[in-house]
Structure 1
Amino acid sequence: MAQFAAVSGKHPEQLTVADVIRYQPQVQQIQSKVTRYGISTHALAKAMVQNGPF
């Protein structure tokens, strides 16, 4: 939701289904850059300490 709000320039409560459809390519582009998801912020921070911020 935050990614759709960011690319649309709208507040989350202002988003419509049409916005989600319109901005889906941009959100997919953002998500394609994510190399992995952690189960929590803490898990991600631990992995960064162990492996570096790559």
Structure 2
Amino acid sequence: MVPLLLVLLLALILFGLGFALKILWWIAIIVLVVWLLGFLVRSAGAGGKRGRWYRW
């Protein structure tokens, strides 16, 4: 009975990790798209220079 429970626990852990990693990949892609859009959507700063859309 114990080996069966260990295999089930291992399967649940691996399923959870796979789901978490998939979510992290989607978050990373969204952040990358927002970062790339930041280069296209820049407002003009003082002196006519184009500044960054974010403050840091």
TM-score normalised by length of structure 2 = 0.25
TM-score normalised by length of structure 1 = 0.25
| Greater relative contact order, per chain length (Cα 8 Å cut-off, separation 6+) | 1
Larger Rg, first or second structure (1 or 2): 2
